[in-house]
Amino acid sequence: MTETTPAASPPLRQRTTEEAAPAEDFVTPATRNSGGTWSGLRPLLLRLHFYAGVLIGPFLLVAAVTGLLYTATPQIESVVHHHELKVTPHGEPTPLAAQVEAARAAIPGGRLVSVTQGAGADDTTRVTFDVKGLPEGYTQTAFVDPYSAEVRGSLRTFGEWLPVRAWFDGLHRTLYLGEFGRNYSEIAASWLWVEVLGGLALWLGAPRGRERLRRLFVPRRGPNGRRRTLSWHGAVGLWVSVGFLALSATGLTWSAHAGVNIGKIQDSLGGATPSVSSALGRAGTEQPAPGTSATRVDLDETVRVARAEGLRGKLVISPPADGESAYVVKENTRHWPEQQDSVAIDPATGKVVDKLVFDDFPVLAKLTRWGIDAHMGLLFGLANQIALAVIALALIGMLFWGYRMWWLRRPTRDGGTPFGRPPARGAWRRVPGRVMAPLVVVTAVVAYYLPLFGLPLVCFLLADVAVAQVRRRGLTHTEARAETTKGTAR
């Protein structure tokens, strides 16, 4: 059906009737007049989608912008820290023990945490120390030329991340507000999937004829008004919905509050991530410090044993924690296919005392590992980074179009509020009890496991009730004044 505007109506009036209409973004005449579960559920879903979009949108925007910046960190890191990361191969590598001693001289007083042997011939060796005075989670790493044992630099590292990636990682996770700052990213992850599923239901639930089916996937052309903005919002959201849901799910897995609950569920289902055991089982045996001449099995022999066991790529060697512990050697290849095998090696005999193969991980543990690495842009290399950048840009666009629709619905003639009107209250009363009861139960369960979904939801409800009461009292006072005026006039 084609909409027409009377010739005498000015352009401003056309925008008022079309764009300042009530929030019926996903409504057609068929849905207004249809009965059944969907006709009752749709207004409630629309109201939740609207309020969550308006109030959670800023959290999503910050997460999208900082995540977009993070996608470029591998390239920035390779340029900024090229001197520390790369060397020109020349001759035969020096023993790892000599490289560790050179690193000790560069970082005196540190406790050796790990030695990382690069996968390529042009990679430096990373020797990481725990140094007093550093913030929690940070270490100091020396980068050693494996051919000359020259220390090419020393950097403060966060786990395996160098300063560039560590800075962007901290920005994305906490905005440098400490543990409190982690709440922002968890709120974004806790609500992104709600917004996506709700938007998909609203977009797909609007009846369309065959000739309009393409509107599901292709944005509308024409005047740049509310309908066109809605079309872009819905179509792009449909295309990128799988990416949004994946980011939400993987982001929740290591969040501060929901991540703990998800971990408990994963453990109860037998999907906990296993780890190789470094226990030797012979109490009282004192072992020399790793990397010294008195060590019967040095670092190089440890690497040779690990390679013979099938470990390849980048290897991370952790020294024995005490006389009852073994060397632990782990693969650290986080692109596809993942290489995460690990072995524990007796420092006295060179025998393998335990071995863990990534292929033997539980399915849930594998999915968690793949999901986290994909979320960080590591799993598929440059293609993974590009996909994340596209998803981040799409989310920024979705938020822009959503706020623009809100703005376009504002009154333009009567001097009312500067923003568009929200969907009408009381939508829950139209939902059949057989649907509302299980919906409340499911929502309560989800809110328990995702507390930063539940708390904002309770705040929404309380604020909505408060606003309704204020408006109801205002209307009551207005009616009372009107009656008084009528009585005076009589």
pLDDT digits (tens, 9 = 90+) for 371-394: 999 999 999 999 999 999 999 999
For 281-317, the pLDDT digits (tens) are 754 445 455 544 444 799 999 999 999 999 999 999 9
- 47: tokens are 């109201």
Planar angle of CA 133, 106, 159, nearest 5 degrees: 50
Distance, C-alpha 128 to centroid of its chain: 28
Q: Which residues pair with 320 in a beta bridge?
A: none
CA distance 90 to 141: 23
CA distance 114 to 129: 7
Q: How confident is the model at residue 487 (pLDDT cuts 50, 70, 90)?
A: low
- Phi first, then psi, for residue 206 (nearest 5°) are -80, 120
What is residue 96's predicted lDDT score, i.e. its pLDDT? 97
Where do we find the tokens 């352009």? 11
For 351-361, the pLDDT digits (tens) are 999 999 999 99
What is residue 394's predicted lDDT score, i.e. its pLDDT? 98
Which of the pair, 456 or 284, is modelled with greater confidence? 456
User: 327 by DSSP, 3-state: which?
Assistant: strand
What is residue 483's predicted lDDT score, i.e. its pLDDT? 59
Q: Looking at the predicted structure, is the pLDDT value of residue 140 above 50?
A: yes
CA trace torsion 395, 399, 404, 406 (10° rounding) = 140
Provide the 8-state DSSP code for 123: B
What is residue 471's predicted lDDT score, i.e. its pLDDT? 76
Q: Which fold has domain 82-161?
A: Nuclear Transport Factor 2; Chain: A, (3.10.450)
The model's pTM: 0.84
Q: Of 369-383, 429-443, 473-487, where does the model show the most confidence?
A: 369-383
| CA-to-CA dists, residue 201 to 26, 108, 234, 241, angstroms | 10, 60, 10, 12
Q: Map out the domains of the chain as residue ranges.
A: 12-68+179-264+388-474, 82-161, 274-360
For 25-82, the pLDDT digits (tens) are 444 444 444 457 888 888 889 989 998 999 999 999 999 999 999 999 999 999 999 9
What is residue 488's predicted lDDT score, i.e. its pLDDT? 57
Q: How confident is the model at residue 10 (pLDDT cuts 50, 70, 90)?
A: very low
User: What is the Cβ-side half-sphere exposure of residue 99, based on CA atoms within 13 angstroms?
Assistant: 27
| CA-to-CA dists, residue 143 to 104, 160, 302, angstroms | 11, 13, 20
Share of the chain above pLDDT 90, in %: 68
Instruction: Calculate the average pLDDT of the chain.
Output: 86
What is residue 38's predicted lDDT score, i.e. its pLDDT? 84
Q: How confident is the model at residue 276 (pLDDT cuts 50, 70, 90)?
A: very high
Q: Say which amino acid occupies 197.
A: L
Q: Looking at the predicted structure, is the pLDDT value of residue 17 above 90?
A: no
